[in-house]
Amino acid sequence: MRKVLQAMLAIAFLASCGGGVERRPPVVPATVDPETNLLVYPRYGDSKPHPWAGRAPYSYPIHGIDVSRYQGDIDWRQVKSAGINFAFIKATEGGDFIDPMFKDHWAGARRAGVRYGAYHFYYFCRPAHEQARWFIQNVPRGTSDLPHVLDMEWNHQSRTCRLRPDGDTIRAEAEMFLDMLEAHYGRRPVVYTTVDFFAHSGIDRLRNTEFWLRSVAGHPRQVYPGAFWTFWQYTGTGIVPGVTGPVDLNVFRASPEIWQRWAR
């Protein structure tokens, strides 16, 4: 009995001082930031919640989603009302594929007032300049709030491309793609990547580049030691009002005031 009581007291102590691991955080509505009038600090449901230790994603004020055809039709006004401040929308892949929901998602986010940008999924069996031209051909200039995104990761499910270039080749191709988009849109894209690709490619050596890092089982400072990140993708199984099924959830690393200046 004494051991049980000691265990209960220990749990109560950890809860009172903010320690321990919270395994099922509740869904908490966003609040209004008085300085920016933005909805901040939402906490969303997750069909496969991670027991965050240390700084959790819901301690960041600015949250967003990234979407593709897999999310289907989205009620963007409901998404915005739930506290989503930004969305990265899949536009293109390789040199000949456009996401069939791109135009619908693009228009829906704009109408709802969700800040948005487009992303390109890189295909290692197609030259970088062809992929950049394909993106430019399909993503209109001057209509996006956010810089666009180059998504570089290994596609383990690809049936048509098994290439795994070395780090020097990857960085050279990325530089070409980023330079072409920066010249066209006037702002350098963000680079999205994953843990294994980051380690293999040395992509963090790219000059003047901001990063969006996937880390669903730990804070980026634990998973990517020493890396500077602008966005953190913290789950692929988020539950957001207005989206049917699971969706990727992300945070911006800084304050609402800095977000407003960054997003322009």
Show the tokens assigned to 23.
């395994």
Q: Is 153 a catalytic residue?
A: yes
CA angle at residue 164 from 163 to 165, to 5 degrees?
A: 105
CA distances, 42 to each of 26, 60, 231 (Å): 10, 9, 16
Characterise 214 by phi-psi region: left (phi > 0), alpha (psi -120 to 50), beta (else): beta
CA angle at residue 198 from 218 to 58, to 5 degrees?
A: 30
- Cα separation, 39 vs 29, in Å, equals 9
- Cα separation, 146 vs 25, in Å, equals 30
Catalytic-role residue among 153, 175, 179, 210 = 153
Q: Is 182 a catalytic residue?
A: no
CA angle at residue 88 from 86 to 91, to 5 degrees?
A: 150
Asked whether 240 and 249 are in contact (CB, 8 A), the reply is yes
Show the tokens assigned to 170.
């990857």
| Residue 205 per-residue DSSP state | G
Catalytic-role residue among 66, 93, 204, 248 = 66
List residues with catalytic annotation.
66, 153
